[in-house]
Amino acid sequence: MLRFLGRRLVAMVFVLFSISVLSFLIFFATPGVDPASRIAGRNADQATLRAVRKDFGLDRPLPVQYGLMMKKLFITRDLTSFVNRGAKVIPQVTEAAPVTLSLVLGAAVIWVVFSIGMGLVAAVFRGTPVDAAVMIVGLIGISMPVFWLGEVVNLLTQSRFHDTFLFSWVPPLGYTPFTQSPFGWFKSLIFPWLTLSVLYIGIYARVLRSALVDAQEEDYVRTARAKGLTERRVMLRHALRTSLVAFVSLFGLDFGALVGGGALLTEVVFGLHGVGKLTFDSLQNLDLPVILATVMYAAFFIVLANALVDLVYALLDPRVRHA
């Protein structure tokens, strides 16, 4: 087991390292990206340009620049932005994290509740039109581009019907911290939550349904049924419990990706300053220090979630350890 853990750890570090190097190289391969002249300002003198380049160490070899940047990011933790000079990068990420966390947590609650409900209904009514209808509704959710859905929601709540009683309570786009006003926090996030969860409700309902269906073929469920337990009890007591394994591991992966900034489009459309928006803005600004920080942050959560899910499987199934 320890060897397995060690191997996973080495693999994690390797993946994170590769991603940081890749981001760094891609940045410097982009034409016109040399930050010196953007830092120096409009119509800067050639001498000023050279001085700025030297100041920011942009005249040094790439491996040295990479090393320095990593040192500033992880050891001295004082890496500053290229665009908003003097703005430290790490506080930007830590300030954005609660926003993303609020968004993802709320959405996760909604999608877990709804998907379990829908999955159960579909499995109980398997093969009937109810099953088909529920699954199609789920599929519709999966099939809509999330940014488009967000735009449509905004169109309805912020302009078309904003003056009617339906949506007049909807606050302007943006985030209200929970500590400032719990109700304001809720109001500002309810539509982003719903929008983000629509996709996942569909996916999770399907996963759960198929796991439930599979479980019903398993021996222990047949035994339970043979013992004369009601179909509902069998479903809830036995089938659901085992089916949740696949559900939970998938949840781990998605949750990790979303906390790392995967909800980028939702954050952009709803003007929420989370990690995803920060990543997006830094990419738009080509602000390398922030890009590196957010990418590493995102990759860390993805890799961590992967490792945790693998670990759970390894604990459950010893064969995986040697695979």
Partner 1 sequence: MGGTIAGEAPVRAGDLAAIGGSPWAIARRRLLRNRIAMTMLGVLVVIVVLCLAAPFYAKHVAHSDPFHSNLDGKTIVKGKSVSVMQESSTGLGLGVTPIGPTWDLHHYFLGADDQGRDVAARLLYGGRNSLLIGVAAALLTCIVATVVGLVAGFFGGVVDGVLSRLLDVVWAFPVYLLAISLSTVLIARGFSWGPFHLESGSLLLPIAIIGVVYIPYVARPIRGEVLSLRRKEFVEAAIGLGASTWRLLWSDILRNVITTVIVFFPLVLAIDMLTEAALSFLSIGVQPPDASWGTIILDGQGLLYTRPAVALAPGLAIAITVLSLNVLGDGIRDALDPRAKLRRID
Partner 2 sequence: MSRVGKFAILGALVVLAVSAGTTGAARQDHRGGTLKLLAKAAGGTLDPQVNYTLQYWQLYQAAYDGLLAFTKAGGEAAFTVVPDLAESLPQPTNGGKTWVFKLRKGIKFSNGQPVTVNDVVASLRRIFKVKSPTSGGFYSGIVGAKACLAKPAGCTLKGGVSADAKKNTVTINLVAPDPELKYKLAVPHATILPANSPTSDAGTKPLPGTGAYYFASYNPNKQLVMKRNPYFKQWSKAAQPAGYPDQITQSFGLTVEAQITAIENGQADWTLEAPPADRLNEMGTKYASQTHVETLTAFWYAPMNTNLAPFNNVKARQAVNFAIDRNALVKIFGGPKLAAPSCQVLPPGFPGHVDYCPYTKNPGATWSAPDVAKAKQLVKASGTAGQKVAVVSQDDEVNKAVAVYLQSVLNQIGYKASVKPMSANLFFTYAQNTKNKVQINVQQWYQDYPAASDFLNILFGCDSFHPGSDSSINIAGFCDKKIDAQMKHALRTALEDEPAANKEWAKIDKQVTDAAPMATLFTPKHIDFVSKRVGNFTFSKQFYWLVSQSWVQ
Which residues bind to partner 2, rule: CB under 8 A? 30-34, 36-38, 40-49, 51-52, 55, 80-81, 83-87, 92, 95-96, 154, 158-159, 162, 172-174, 271, 273, 277-278, 281, 284-286
Residues recorded for the chain: 323
Q: What are phi and psi of 283, to 5 degrees?
A: -70, -40
Report in angstroms how near the CB of residue 254 gets to partner 2 at its nearest. Answer: 26
* 145 binds partner 1 per the rule CB under 8 A: yes
Q: Which residue type occupies 282?
A: S
Among 68, 97, 105, 142, contact with partner 1 (rule: CB under 8 A):
142
What does 3 bind: partner 1, partner 2, none (CB cut-off 5 to 8 Å by kind)? none
Quickly list DSSP for 254-281. HHHHIIIIITHHHHHHTT--SHHHHHHH
DSSP letter at 76 equals: S
Q: Is 108 exposed, middle or buried (0-12, 13-18, 19+ CB in 10 A)?
A: buried
Q: What angle do CA 38, 70, 7 make, to 5 degrees?
A: 140
What does 295 bind: partner 2, partner 1, none (CB cut-off 5 to 8 Å by kind)? partner 1
Q: 219-226 vs 182-217: helix axis angle to the nearest 10?
A: 80
Which is nearest to 195 in space by CA: 137, 141, 256, 251?
141
Half-sphere exposure for 17 (CA within 13 Å, toward CB): 7
Report in angstroms how near the CB of residue 181 gets to partner 1 at its nearest. Answer: 29
* 22 binds partner 1 per the rule CB under 8 A: yes
- The Cα–Cα gap between 184 and 187 comes to 5
* 143 binds partner 1 per the rule CB under 8 A: yes
Residue 88: strand pairing partners: 80
* 5 binds partner 1 per the rule CB under 8 A: no
Nearer to partner 2, 137 or 173 (CB): 173
Q: For tokens 């709540």, what's the residue?
A: 157
Give the 3-state secondary structure percentages of the chain, helix then strand then coil, rounded to 5: 80, 0, 20
Report in angstroms how near the CB of residue 200 gets to partner 1 at its nearest. Answer: 9
Among 271, 273, 280, 311, contact with partner 1 (rule: CB under 8 A):
280
What does 210 bind: partner 1, partner 2, none (CB cut-off 5 to 8 Å by kind)? partner 1
Among 47, 165, 217, 227, contact with partner 1 (rule: CB under 8 A):
217
Tell me how many residues contact partner 1 (CB under 8 A).
65
Q: 275-285 vs 89-124: helix axis angle to the nearest 10?
A: 130
What does 75 bind: partner 1, partner 2, none (CB cut-off 5 to 8 Å by kind)? none
* 137 binds partner 1 per the rule CB under 8 A: no
Q: Two tokens at 21?
A: 């190097």
Span 24-83, contacts to partner 1 by CB under 8 A: 26-27, 29-33
Rg, Å, the chain Cα set = 24
Positions touching partner 1 (CB under 8 A) are: 11, 14-16, 18-19, 22-23, 26-27, 29-33, 126-127, 132, 135-136, 139-140, 142-149, 151-152, 155, 159, 203, 206-207, 210-211, 213-214, 217, 246, 249-250, 253-254, 260-262, 264-265, 279-280, 283, 286, 291, 295, 298-299, 302-303, 306, 309, 323
